[in-house]
């Protein structure tokens, strides 16, 4: 029984660790692709393309790892994450489009950036996961 | 859905963590099922019934 428990927990921990590595890798490669062209190789399109390509490849790896992680969860944990993803997607689409319209109508005094939308989706997903976990506690 | 998992667990002298390990879910999931906050899927209900060697309808009752 101990071995069975450990193997399930170990597999779960391993998936979380791998997802963290892929996410960290994606953030780093995105940062290099983003700030590199600004501070290190200004005007060098070839280097920009190479690093954007690398960041995209690592991003695809992160997406696949996230799918593996979600599939490795038990059915209640999966339900919590699916509900959180549904809320995050909805808030992202509705909030993002409203934000863009505010920019187009010149209601806000700055440009609507995609990074704001990514943060909104991320924070919504975190809160929805936290609330979902508490609901079943 | 009501269930007798807590009673059966006590009869078999099992902790939530031990039952969770046997049916390969988290302890939180077993707790949510016991408290009626989460209804298990059919495969999980069958796993639990096989473990306690009882028919599924004797463990889970529709309220």
Facing A76 at nearest CB: one of B18, B22, B32: B32
Q: Which fold does the domain B2-53 belong to in CATH? A: 434 Repressor (Amino-terminal Domain) (1.10.260)
Query: Is residue A110 exposed (0-12), middle (13-18) or buried (19+ Cβ within 10 Å)?
Result: exposed
HSE of A113 in the Cβ direction (CA atoms, 13 Å)?
5
Q: Would the CA dihedral through A26, A28, A34, A40 be positive or negative?
A: negative
User: Has residue B55 got a pLDDT over 60?
Assistant: yes
Q: What percent of chain A has pLDDT over 70?
A: 96
Confidence of residue B1 (pLDDT cuts 50, 70, 90): confident
What ipTM is given for this predicted complex? 0.88
Report phi then psi at B61, rounded to 5: -125, 135
Q: Which residues of B touch A5 (CB under 8 A)?
A: 17-18, 20-21
Mean pLDDT of A110-130: 93
| Average pLDDT, rounded, for chain A | 91
The domain segmentation of chain B, as residue ranges, is 2-53
Write out the H or E segment, with its range, that includes residue B2.
Answer: strand B2-3
Does any CB of chain A come closer than 8 Å to the CB of residue B51? no
User: Has residue B56 got a pLDDT over 90?
Assistant: yes
């Amino acid at each position: 029984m101990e071995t069975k428990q450990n193997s399930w927990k170990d597999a779960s921990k391993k998936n979380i660790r791998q997802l963290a590595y892929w996410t960290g890798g994606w953030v780093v490669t995105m940062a290099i692709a983003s700030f590199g062209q600004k501070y290190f190789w200004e005007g060098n399109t070839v280097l920009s393309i190479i690093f954007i390509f690398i960041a995209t490849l690592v991003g695809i790896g992160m997406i696949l790892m996230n799918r593996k992680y979600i599939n490795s969860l038990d059915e209640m944990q999966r339900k919590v994450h699916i509900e959180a993803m549904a809320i995050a997607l909805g808030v992202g689409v509705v909030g993002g489009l409203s934000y863009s319209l505010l920019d187009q109508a010149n209601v806000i005094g700055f440009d609507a950036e995609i990074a704001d939308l990514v943060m909104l989706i991320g924070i919504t997903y975190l809160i929805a996961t936290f609330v979902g976990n508490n609901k079943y506690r | 859905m009501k269930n007798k998992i807590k009673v059966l667990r006590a009869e078999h002298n099992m902790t939530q963590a031990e039952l969770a390990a046997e049916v390969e879910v988290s302890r939180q999931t077993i707790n949510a099922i016991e408290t009626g906050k989460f209804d298990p899927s059919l495969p999980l209900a069958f796993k639990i019934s096989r473990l306690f060697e009882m028919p599924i309808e004797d463990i889970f009752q529709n309220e």
